[in-house]
Structure 1
Amino acid sequence: MTLEDIKRRRIAMNQSDISATVKLSAVEYIAGDTIQATVYVTEGQKKKSKRSLTLNDLSISMRVYQISKFNLDEKPILSQLMATNTYILKNNKLDNDENKMTQVHQVSLELDEELAPSMEYSQIMSLSYKLVISIHKTIYNKTDNPVPHPKFLQTIEYEDALPLYDSSRLPLYDNLSRSNICAE
């Protein structure tokens, strides 16, 4: 299996000042091999108010597709997912200066031992593979607006038990029901 990609490729996300560089250990693999990649995620900070990347802010997804196509057609006749793996990134700082912060992550994807090799059937048809590495921001962030504890609970006092009953915290339902009866 040959990956039609250069060894280093840089992808920039235009929404925020985040970019990623992927470095593959090889571009040719056989069935049963493990694709290993090093991903460098860099965030350049334009404003000091912007927060930097933190734990669980990003996830990496690796997918290998088998592509079958007729050589005369531009679109493939079949594109089938063969292997996938997803990682939640841990904060692993490599370089941290005033303008940029870089995280380094090792990811891998094991290929099935029964994959057919890349090949071309004369000038009629070809079978190839495509590696897709995508980086996504996760929807959860531990540092942004943590859920506050209810005001009537003290964090340490009721950690393993329910709070003690106190009737002063409850609304007075008797007054509400009597006023509804009188109004009718």
Structure 2
Amino acid sequence: MKNVTDSFVSSVYWSFAESFGFNTDILATNPINLSVVLGVFIFFGKGVLNDLLDNRKQRILSTIRNSEELCKGAIEQLERARARLRKVEMEADEYRINGYSEIEREKVNLINATCDSLERLENYKNETLHFEQQRAINQVRQRVFQQALQRALGTLNSCLNSDLHFRTISANIGILGAMEEIID
């Protein structure tokens, strides 16, 4: 147990002995050694550090150049896409305008064709009506003429006797004789 106590006392002694304070002994603090080590480190490490920084700088610059080239390529593709879009929009507008004008033209042609057909049908209807009217009028005339002829024949047959018949024939012969003299 003496060892444990001795070690405790010794640790307490050393902890107070190394307490906070300012050490003025230059050799004990080793600033010369530290400055030499730092000088060597800076002298030899400077090239390595410069190489590392230059490599890092070159990678960053290369990445920036690649990014700029990709950006330029993307801008060019965007401009080409915009030009194609404008072209397609113009073609779409042209098709739309041509389509509407074609539709209007077809509509006018259809209206004109329908009007022509209606006019022909109207003319055909009028011609058919006129033809049917003429046919009906001719049929009525034929019936009236037949009825008049039948009445006249009936009247003649009832009124005509041989004396009247002889005088009618003589008068007609006289008319024909007078016509013959005029012709000669």
Considering the TM-score relative to the shorter chain, is it more than 0.5? no
TM-score, normalised with respect to structure 2: 0.18
Task: Write 1 or 2 for the structure with the bigger share of strand.
Answer: 1
User: Which protein is bigger by CA-based radius of gyration?
Assistant: 2
Task: Write 1 or 2 for the structure with the bigger share of helix.
Answer: 2
TM-score, normalised with respect to structure 1: 0.18
Q: Which has the higher contact order (CA 8 A, sep 6+)?
A: 1
